[in-house]
Amino acid sequence: MRGLAWILLSIAAILGAPAQAQTYDPAYPVCLQTYGINGNYIGCSYISMDQCRASASGRAAQCITNPYYAGAPSRRKYRGY
């Protein structure tokens, strides 16, 4: 009976918890964090700080560096063996 209770509790915990979307996109180095009445939002879609600042100008927003930026893909050198 205890086993059934644990299984039901586990299923309820998995189905009852809402999933959160990933906030930071690892493909872009700069994020724009906006502040508003309906809540805050972080969107990472900028390749430079200047590009982000232009978008943040005149808004309740700030530009931040992406802590999860994966960096540019490394290029492998071809060795003609």
**CA–CA dist 28, 48 (Å, integer):** 9
Per-residue pLDDT tens over the stretch 35-50: 999 899 999 999 999 9
Residue 8 pLDDT class (50, 70, 90 cuts): low
Query: Whole-model pTM?
Result: 0.61
Closest CA to 32 of 13, 8, 5, 60: 60
- pLDDT at residue 80 above 80? no
**CA–CA dist 21, 24 (Å, integer):** 9
Check residue 23 and report its DSSP letter.
S
- Helix then strand count (H, E) for the chain reads 2, 3
Per-residue pLDDT tens over the stretch 52-66: 999 999 999 999 999
**CA–CA dist 19, 61 (Å, integer):** 26
